[in-house]
Amino acid sequence: MKKTRYQNYDGVQNTHTFSDMVRWYKERKAKIKDLSTLIPQAEHKDIKRIQENRTSFSITWIGHSTFLIQMQGLNILTDPVWAKRMGFGSRLTEPGILIGQLPEIDIVLISHGHYDHLDFGSIRKLKGSPAFYVPIGLKRAFTRRGYRNVIEANWWDRFTHNGVSLSFVPAQHWTRRTLSDINTSHWGGWIVEHPETNQSVYFVGDTGYFRGFKDIADRYELDIVLMPIGAYEPEWFMSISHINPEDAVKAFLELKGKTCIPMHYGAYRLADDTGPEALERLFKEWDRLRLNKDRLKVMALGESYWIT
């Protein structure tokens, strides 16, 4: 039976060759990067408060693309990854909150199947009996591990879970977990909305810059945008699948969001850029465009953002 292969807008593909990989490897060997400066941990962590929270809207950055979103009494976790290693490299920063310190999880949102976004070792340790919302093509990876409450989503699909709206929206990326399953599941971002309060969070997932941001802005009013900014170097290799800090700002403006929270930097060395480099470029572009500094919320690991 022929496998379904999912695609990006306009047929954009990640088509790098073995020669491209060799070129990247040689470039990396020639670069000297300072890996000693790390993304800081929050000085104060609201662990007890988030464990007990059933009313307030909050966002806590665990690290990389993992956030705890609390809305309408629900505990929602994005791309849960506490893995100490990724490929051949060790994790650079400890997660902001230990997995055992989390409250019981109601919903897990998965952006795509890459290992730095989907780690079953971490999922097994979660408290509670969460519903898993996953891109189309990924359900089988969950059910064969014994998970039953798994809902697959295609682009623009929308669900309601205990009064909260969950929408799966496009991204420009690709995915693979084995030698033979390239792009046999989809990829995208998740928008979480509370219809009564009109509060919303857009978890962008993993993406290059693409015209789909404008389409998303046409359909949704966005309060908080969790925007990736890392794993973009070398850009000749990464730009299809990973957005750089300048284009992340451009995308945020096209989305017409109120607050930008950067993510996907500083935890793993997936590319040649470092977390501090990504933040420096982000700040420089924000200043160049003279954007309101209050619209940019850079979080420390384990920090919670409480939205009134």
**pLDDT value of position 179:** 87
242 within some domain: yes
- b/e map of 169-207 (b: 16 or more CB within 10 Å)? bbbbbbbbbeeeeebbbbbbbbbbbbeeeebbbbbbbbb
pLDDT of 1 reads: 58
Question: Domain for residue 24, yes or no?
Answer: no
The range of the structural domain enclosing residue 299 comes to 46-307
Q: DSSP letter string over 255-308?
A: HT-SEEEEES-SSS--SS--HHHHHHHHHHHHHHTT--GGGB-PPPBT-EEEE-
The one-character DSSP state at 41 is B
Number of domains in the chain: 1
Predicted pLDDT of residue 196: 85
Predicted pLDDT of residue 16: 86
Global pTM exceeds 0.75 = yes
Instruction: Give the CATH number of the domain where residue 243 resides.
Output: 3.60.15.10
Domain assignment of residue 274, yes or no: yes
Is residue 17 one of the residues assigned to a domain?
no
Residue 122 placed within a domain: yes
Percent of the chain having pLDDT more than 90?
A: 90
- Does residue 41 belong to any structural domain of this protein? no
CB atoms closer than 10 angstroms to residue 156: 13
Q: Is 255 inside a domain boundary?
A: yes
Cα–Cα dist 255/170, whole Å? 13
Q: Is position 40 within any domain?
A: no
DSSP-assigned beta bridge partners for residue 125: none
Q: What is the pLDDT of residue 15?
A: 84
274: closest CA among 34, 90, 5, 111? Answer: 34
Task: State which residues of the chain have pLDDT below 50.
Answer: none
